[in-house]
Amino acid sequence: MSPIQTLASLNEKSLDALTTVQDGIVAAYKRTASVLPADWIPAAPVVPLTRGYLAQVIEESYAFQTKVLEANKRFAVALVDAASPAPTPAQAAAKAPTKAAK
């Protein structure tokens, strides 16, 4: 297994563990919420704590995090490119095997 395959496997196992824990928390929360009165979350005068509002907050938060992850990815790739620039098309063509070499 290559180092990249090992990293990908570890990432998947970590994500599986994370989602297993999250699923357990959601299940426990559902059990707790099912025995509480529907209005147990106190109303706030400024922020509407409705399901729709909270769903919008979650969507906006994760949309932002997606943008942050993409920016971090571009940054990491730019750092790699700065340290070890990709070959120019002319350099890549010069290194490519020719039909005569086959």
Domain membership of residue 88 as a residue range = 46-96
pLDDT at 21: 95
Task: Tell me, yes or no, whether 4 lies in a domain.
Answer: yes
The domain total for the chain is 2
User: Residue 90 falls within a domain, yes or no?
Assistant: yes
Same domain, 84 and 51: yes
One domain for residues 50 and 86: yes
- Quote the pLDDT of residue 90: 77
pLDDT in tens, 15-45: 999 999 999 999 998 888 888 887 766 665 6
Q: Check: CB of residue 87 under 8 Å from CB of residue 95.
A: yes
Residue 101 confidence (pLDDT) above 70: no
**Interior CA angle at 69 toward 16 and 20, to 5°?**
15
pLDDT bin (cut points 50, 70, 90) of residue 71 is: very high
Same domain, 85 and 55: yes
Task: Pull the structure tokens for residue 54.
Answer: 């909270």
Q: Give pLDDT tens digits for 2-14.
A: 999 999 999 999 9
Verify that 32 and 65 share a domain, yes or no: no
Q: How far apart are CA 66 and CA 58, in angstroms?
A: 12
Inside any domain, residue 101: no
Diameter of the chain measured on Cα atoms: 79
Asked whether residue 102 is domain-assigned, the answer is no
